[in-house]
Amino acid sequence: MATGVIMELQRNSTNWAKVVEDIVRLEKKIFPKHESLAKSFDEELKKKNCGLLYSELDGEVAGYVMYSWPSSLYASITKLAVKENYRRQGHGEVLLKAAIQKCRIRNVHRISLHVDPSRTPATNLYKKLGFQVDDLIQGYYSPDRNAYRMYLDFDTD
Ligand SMILES: CC(C)(COP(=O)(O)OP(=O)(O)OC[C@H]1O[C@@H](n2cnc3c(N)ncnc32)[C@H](O)[C@@H]1OP(=O)(O)O)[C@@H](O)C(=O)NCCC(=O)NCCS
């Protein structure tokens, strides 16, 4: 069961540099270069309409989720990762639920995301929280790596 604290990274917060540094280190470890935001993380986060939640355990970042809301109609989950030694303890699920809630309160109609179908843990987690596969996009990440486009719709009544 996840016990870490979920925090929201705030612009100008005193721990910004340390948190970004931890996340960039994880990005480099977890994602291949073409899928990693390691080089552009700082820039991405400074964009308007972009949020980042992270869970902290023993003074370090255990996992993070990045999301954005480009319009009032839809939001995207742009990153989700948990450090290897903290996996299968519920952190990913808690982070994703928290990000969904953040998007929900903006009244968007849909949250979408892309995920490599070979990432079974992530695909299972997204399905568990109600995301459905919309399409398989050939060559999305690289010529030989495809992506599922997945979405979660909200009742807007
Ligand atoms: C995907 C990821 C974030 C899951 O984090 P986690 O903290 O280990 O996940 P949780 O413990 O919260 O598990 C929640 C659900 O995810 C799914 N899941 C997680 N790990 C799984 C695994 N190894 N095999 C199958 N399903 C898995 C299950 O549906 C699980 O629910 P259950 O416990 O009821 O079976 C983590 O595996 C990860 O960082 N993977 C590498 C990065 C990645 O693929 N990111 C997504 C693409 S952007």
How many degrees, rounded to 5, is the angle at CA 44 between CA 40 and CA 46? 125
Centre of ligand 1 to C-alpha 64, Å, is 13
Centre of ligand 1 to C-alpha 92, Å, is 6
pLDDT, residue 48, reads 83
Residue 125 corresponds to which tokens in the numbers above?
């987690």
Residues sharing a CB contact under 8 Å with residue 56, sequence separation 6 or more, in sequence order: 4, 5, 7, 62
Q: Is 90 exceeded by the pLDDT of residue 13? A: no
CA–CA distance, 99 with 53 (Å, rounded to integer):
7
CA–CA distance, 99 with 137 (Å, rounded to integer):
24
Residue bearing the CA closest to ligand 1, atom 19:
121
> Over the stretch 57-74, which tens digit does the pLDDT of each residue have?
988 999 999 999 988 899
> Cβ distance 151 to 134 under 8 Å?
yes
Q: Which fold has domain 5-153?
A: Aminopeptidase (3.40.630)
Domain definitions of the chain by residue range: 5-153
User: What mean pLDDT, rounded, does the chain reach?
Assistant: 92
> Over the stretch 106-144, which tens digit does the pLDDT of each residue have?
999 999 999 999 999 999 999 999 999 999 999 999 999
pLDDT, residue 64, reads 97
